[in-house]
Amino acid sequence: MSRFAYFLFDPTSWSDWRDWLDSQKTTIGEHLSRVVIILVLLVVLDIVLRRVLGRVLFGAIGRAARARTEDPIAIRRRADTLISTLNWVLSIFLFFLGAGLVLGEIGLNVSALIAGVGVVGIALGLGAQTLVKDVINGMFILIEDQYSVGDMVTVGGSSGEVIEINPRRTVLRDADGNIHTIPNSAVTIAINRTGSLNRLRVEIDVPFRESDRAIELANVVGREVAESLASDVISAPKVVSQSVVGEGDVRLGIVGDARPAARWQVELEYRRRLKRRFDAERIAVTFEGGETGKG
């Protein structure tokens, strides 16, 4: 319908309405088809970028961590954390990109809309300072790798396993199964206990005259445990300190590292073998906690 025809448009005449609708069918169909194409392309782009970014990031983290001989489980946790964060950012970006393309396609002035939103955004920004602080603090947590999904942490007054982390919040599951959602702005101090869960520590008291032999045996047993439990031991238990206690006794501090899930099993096996070896060598030993063996 031409511009002049609008002056002759009679809103009470069905024939005029029918002519106008017929003239709009092609335009509406074109807009709808373009909107559908935009949405399909955005979905495909989202799927492709998620897979590509996931593989590239996991590969890069894996290579860097293997160069530092890090635990493969820790590598997976770090990669999962960063991938989930990138997916979160990617979803927000694609949402606003799609919204702008669709609004532009249906005829809205996106530039004017953005300018209007910018004015409103200033007002909202003044009331959304906590949200901004959440995101900024969350990005530093992720960049500095303070903790990752699967770590045991204490943050914001809550303790538990990290099951989700993104730039806005950290989600924990405690020992009772309760879910704690902590805004990242509340994370002023983060205690990551996953590293300490790897560390096994054994202290024994032996006679001073037997201290050199005891150190040698403790290290030998540590290497034996590391060989027999190679998949669970990160570093073999060995003597790292000694101090004089009581009347002529020496306290030996023995430490090693194991995977968190197997830490207690490795420590128990080490204590068992150490006790048997000391009994066989007829060396008197007192374990921390009062367990005593006499030769």
Does pLDDT of 7 surpass 50?
no
Tally Cβ neighbours within 10 Å of residue 275: 17
Degrees, nearest 5: CA angle 224-230-236: 55
pLDDT by residue (tens digit) across 160-189?
888 888 778 899 998 788 999 999 888 888
CA end-to-end distance (rounded Å), the chain:
109
Does pLDDT of 274 surpass 80?
yes
pLDDT by residue (tens digit) across 44-86?
888 887 777 777 766 666 665 555 445 566 666 666 767 777 7
**Nearest partner of 2 among 33, 26, 29, 23, judged by Cα:** 23
**16-20, 53-57, 110-114, 174-178: range with highest mean pLDDT:** 174-178
Does pLDDT of 12 surpass 60?
no
Cα distance between residue 149 and residue 77, in whole Å: 5
* pLDDT value at residue 225: 92
The number of CA neighbours under 13 Å toward the Cβ of 248 is 4
* pLDDT value at residue 254: 92
* pLDDT value at residue 14: 61
What sign does the CA torsion over 225, 226, 232, 233 have?
positive
What domains are defined for the chain? 3-127 (1.10.287), 146-192 (2.30.30.60), 195-293 (3.30.70.100)
Report residue 248's pLDDT band, with 50, 70 and 90 as the boundaries. confident
